[in-house]
Amino acid sequence: GIGYINGKYIGLNENAVPIEERGCQFGDGIYEVIRVYNGKPFMLDEHLARLLKSGNAIKLQIKQSMEEFRMLIKEAIAKSGLSNCCVYLQITRGISARNHLFPDVPVSISMTVKQIIPLPDSIREKGAAAIFHEDERWANCYIKSLNLLPNVLARQTAYEQGCFEAILVREGMVTEGTSSNVFIVKQGKVYTTPLSRNILAGITRMVVKRVSEVVNVQFIEQAFSKEDLVGADEVFITNTTSEIVPIVKVEGKKIGTGAPGEVTMKLYHKLQQFVADLKEM
Ligand code: PMP
């Protein structure tokens, strides 16, 4: 893999920023994770649109255009020599003496391009377990902000209980995972939490919506509770790096038959086909 910061390509372990950097000191920045299949960034424009939306939401003065980011990302992928990889792109409010007020300096743009770490086959085939966790985050979770402490803590709690993901719950209703969107299947229909300030508008969520249409599965954006989830026929989560992951156990209770569900796998296979078609383009 390779690194990039403010116009310069560097090794992943090289020092990148001075100690007084807004991202390090305040988490004052935003990011995106983009999946690359066969050298081609998947859903790049959608990721860049979300990046600029997050940037506007935190009043970042980004001078670069969407086209410049598009070129930069493609250049970095080419330089990495990797074809199935992930681009991590981060923009912070820059380098300046620590002070809460916005500094009058350019934003810092950094990037890594790294090989994908594939999800273990056992999780693909047998599904994963999850816990419920109180959603302790702020009121603007639609912003892909660097402030991930509540996500990190919840995810670690899940891990320590032998689970793959923590499903976050706000006032009894499921919001999303610590780094994923959450879906349930009931009587062949897919339900997911409606977009609001409380969740990230996942790009994979958008892909699943499109894929559902193609395979004639009804896709319903409707809030659901912890109890609805536990009683669902199937549960799955999505994100850019893992695509679709079946969740077969929550809080120690089996979901449906306790195996990856039929609708989940249908969507997963169709998504794989989408991506395969992309490779040939
Ligand atoms: N919600 C949260 C909190 C996330 O961190 C992620 C992963 N970026 C997602 C949802 C899924 O988003 P995407 O499909 O764009 O990766």
**Ligand 1 atom showing the smallest separation from residue 200 Cα:** 1
168 lines ligand 1 (CB under 6 A): no
Mean pLDDT confidence for 115-135: 95
- Residue 25's contacts (CB-CB under 8 Å, 6 or more residues apart) are 98
175 lines ligand 1 (CB under 6 A): no
Mutate to test the pocket of ligand 1, among 35, 165, 181, 205 (most ligand atoms within 8 A of CB): 181
Exposure pattern of 132-148 as b/e (b: 16+ CB <10 Å)? bbebebeeebbbbbbbb
- In tens, the pLDDT along 40-77 reads 999 999 999 999 999 999 999 999 999 999 999 999 99
240: Cβ below 6 Å to ligand 1?
Answer: yes
Query: The pTM is what?
Result: 0.97
Residue 119 Cα, ligand 1 centroid: separation in angstroms? 16
Mutate to test the pocket of ligand 1, among 140, 151, 180 (most ligand atoms within 8 A of CB): 180
- What per-residue confidence (pLDDT) applies to 278? 74
Res 218: pLDDT: 98
39 HSE (CA, 13 A, CB side): 7
**CA-based angle 6:12:18, to the nearest 5?**
50
Q: Is the pLDDT of residue 159 over 60?
A: yes
Catalytic residues: 144
- pLDDT (tens digit, 9 = 90+) per residue, 202-219? 999 999 999 999 999 999
- CA 230 to CA 241: how far, in whole Å? 25
Ligand 1 contact, 179 CB (< 6 A): yes
Q: What is the DSSP letter of 207?
A: H
Atom 7 in ligand 1: residue holding the nearest Cα: 179
Tens of pLDDT, residue by residue over 11-51, are 999 999 999 999 999 999 999 999 999 999 999 999 999 99
CA distance linking residue 7 with residue 24, whole number of Å? 19
Is 203 a pocket residue for ligand 1 (Cβ < 6 Å)? Answer: yes
Domains of the chain: 2-115 (3.30.470.10), 121-280 (3.20.10.10)
198 lines ligand 1 (CB under 6 A): no
Mutate to test the pocket of ligand 1, among 240, 271, 274 (most ligand atoms within 8 A of CB): 240
Residue 279 has pLDDT above 70, yes or no: no
Ligand 1 center–CA 106 separation, angstroms? 27
Q: What is the pLDDT of residues 209-253, one digit of tens each?
A: 999 999 999 999 999 999 999 999 999 999 999 999 999 999 999
Q: Ligand 1 center to residue 104 CA distance, Å?
A: 31
Residue pLDDT, tens place only, 88-120: 999 999 999 999 999 999 999 999 999 999 999
Q: Do 22 and 91 meet the contact criterion of CB atoms below 8 Å apart? A: no
Mean model confidence pLDDT for the chain: 97
State the pairing for strand pair 40-41/165-170. Answer: unpaired
pLDDT one-digit tens code per residue, 160-180? 999 999 999 999 999 999 999
Ligand 1 lined by 200 (C-beta under 6 Å): yes
Radius of gyration of the chain (CA): 19
> What's the pLDDT score for residue 85?
97
Distance, CA 176 to ligand 1 centroid (Å)? 9
pLDDT of res. 276: 85
Q: Is the dihedral of CA 274, 47, 112, 152 positive or negative?
A: negative
